[in-house]
Structure 1
């Protein structure tokens, strides 16, 4: 676990009540995400991956154990504080993109800062990000005028609009062909190297997991494996 973790969890348990039954989604796990980490979370359906992603995204708090964001216990945050910290620290990238079809690429990237009172600065930041992800010539295009890979790049730019420390990516290459998926993984590497952004991805794709620095294997709410990958995607040592 990185010593300088942005967010860390210790002995984290998460339970849900469904009728008369208590489901223990996470069973006392430890985790830590440091600057520029690339961590892949893998495991079968129902293993606790989405629960872990919700905790990392400050969308939920543990039933017991502790999750700390920069050494502060997130369970002490009010709803307003959690929302502020989420906006400041976390960027979300989804498999389905979730772009608004009636907005241009530029406007979609601006959306998370729509209520900020800095429209000029927001537009400049959005434009810079789209140029950064290779879409400088697609600013005024609507989602239905973009390819799947271009939509995902817009989604990544949108996730970066508030300069987050961590990108949470849920199956980010699931709807993309291999070549386009490669370009998204390359983009993640560039962001980690140049902007110190950590990337945590939930994936069923061994190819994506092989590109990560660490793979966390969740099975029945427990971590069965958390170690560097032995090989790269091309099969090298």
Structure 2
């Protein structure tokens, strides 16, 4: 097993593990976002975590024995990784119920704090996704931020004061920056690492952050989604610019936020 980072010192471009410390001329922080089911009371006991292997395996078993009732696919809070995941999951579950001849005995609902699906992609796409899930008989409930789950009553409690019952809960938990990154002092007010939008450099020279751990504001005023496609292109830009700086060859390359 390779030990993970126990501490990050961005001023010295140094990483400490349980066994040693590693320093360099450049430091790239790409530790992702962590799901925290414990941030919502009752969520761990009452739901299946869609972003966790054990949670998904438990969901598979629960779906196999599910015969009727309400399935709730719930986004606990924003931001979350892979903006399309709750809609994909709801439609996959709906298709499975239909294939098993249970669709007429089941209801599928999506609850999310978003005003419409994937807002950063624009209202037209969001309305198209809404129409798609509606065509499958899936009910969409926007602007519902999860406050608590009451497993004994099988109820969801939302910050807007509404409640909803469920028989099977599929949840995307709140996302947080990894503690080791937060303790490094790199994290900003939004709870993520602020970086230059084009270079991905942090406030420290030679220290970069990319992927889900970052907070990047787009020209439209919304934040860049947390998705692998963006991390991929960010990594290409950072690697190119570091190589160009070391070798003195090649023009700088900016991350342009492409992905959708």
Higher strand content, 1 or 2: 1
Greater fraction of residues in helix: 1
Tell whether the structures are fold-level matches, with TM greater than 0.5: no
Task: Please tell me the TM-score bracket, short chain as reference.
Answer: under 0.3
The higher-RCO structure (CA 8 Å, 6+ apart) is 1
TM-score, scaled to structure 1? 0.26
What TM-score, normalized by structure 2, do the two folds share?
A: 0.24
Bigger radius of gyration among the two: 2
